[in-house]
Amino acid sequence: MSGRRGRQPGPRLSWLLCCSALLSRAAGYVLVSSVSWAVTNEVDEEALPALLEDSGSIWQRGFPASAHKEDAHLPPPEGTARARPPPAPPGMFSYRREGGARLRPGTARFLAHASAWGCLATVSAHEKIPGLPFGNCLPVSDGPFNNSTGVPFFYVTPKDLLVADLMKNPTASLLLPESEGEFCRKNIVDPEDPRCARLTLTGQMVAVPPEEVEFAKQAMLSRHPVMRKWPRQYEWFFMKMKIEHIWLQKWYGGVADISREEYFKAVPRKA
């Protein structure tokens, strides 16, 4: 017979047709980068960034190319009609700026109580870097879980360079980041995002007096029970910070200066 029968598509053509059918449903969408934090049902929907419009999919509605042009905000040339802006894609979320000055002391106290570690910066007394800032991360506690004092306690050794610095200059600065807790993780906020609050305490570091040692011990061991097993030959002892200044950042821009009176009177409150 001279006529040819219809040939069946080869494997490569079948694969291409399959991909085309799948991708046709994703028209107008782009594949976005993955995030390292899992999205759960506990996420506050109002805090979700536009990146995670659909928490159950890897697809996100794409924007027209004009939205990414550097001159998109400029007025159109004379004699040309301004193009109507495209409608905003559904499911876009914005971060709500919460809290005023009256809530800042409570947020500061919450960070001081919720933090299990912090970054302590001193004025170096080391011969190679005299007078320069020197920092290290240390375990910290402001009291047992049911007793917040707002005063950070530490369990340190004289062999630590930070302690050597403090023996010559007790001035120090302590950073307590909110990223150490669960809020920023659950709300998909980057730890370095200004909306992920951070507290900075400055003051004088002193050894805990004998009448407070038992409380300092309860404060530290309730948060860090492994300290009971630390080698005793390192001559561990307790220190605390006598706070002089409180600085809180929980939004873009500058930091809030909180008075000592407001800080110690406040009740810990989540940011």
DSSP string for residues in 118-135: EEEEEE---TTSTTSEEE
CA distance linking residue 20 with residue 41, whole number of Å? 33
CA distance linking residue 52 with residue 29, whole number of Å? 13
The per-residue pLDDT for range 161-188, each reduced to its tens digit, is 999 999 999 999 999 988 755 667 777 6
Write down the pLDDT at residue 113.
94
Amino acid (one-letter) located at 180: E
DSSP 34: P
Can you give the C-alpha Rg of the chain in angstroms? 28
Q: Confidence band (pLDDT; 50, 70, 90) for 74? A: low
Q: If you write DSSP's letter for every residue of 83-115 in order, what string do you get? A: PPPPPPPTT---------GGGHHHHHHHHHHH-
Helix (H) or strand (E) holding 258: strand 256-258
Q: What is the pTM of this model?
A: 0.62
CA distance linking residue 181 with residue 116, whole number of Å? 9
Write down the pLDDT at residue 194.
75
Q: Confidence band (pLDDT; 50, 70, 90) for 246? A: very high
The per-residue pLDDT for range 191-208, each reduced to its tens digit, is 677 778 899 999 999 999
8 A C-beta contact, residue 206 and residue 173: no
Top pLDDT among 44 and 57 is at 44
Mean pLDDT of the chain, nearest integer? 75
Top pLDDT among 9 and 230 is at 230
| Residue 24, Ramachandran bin (φ over 0: left; ψ between -120 and 50: alpha; else beta) | alpha
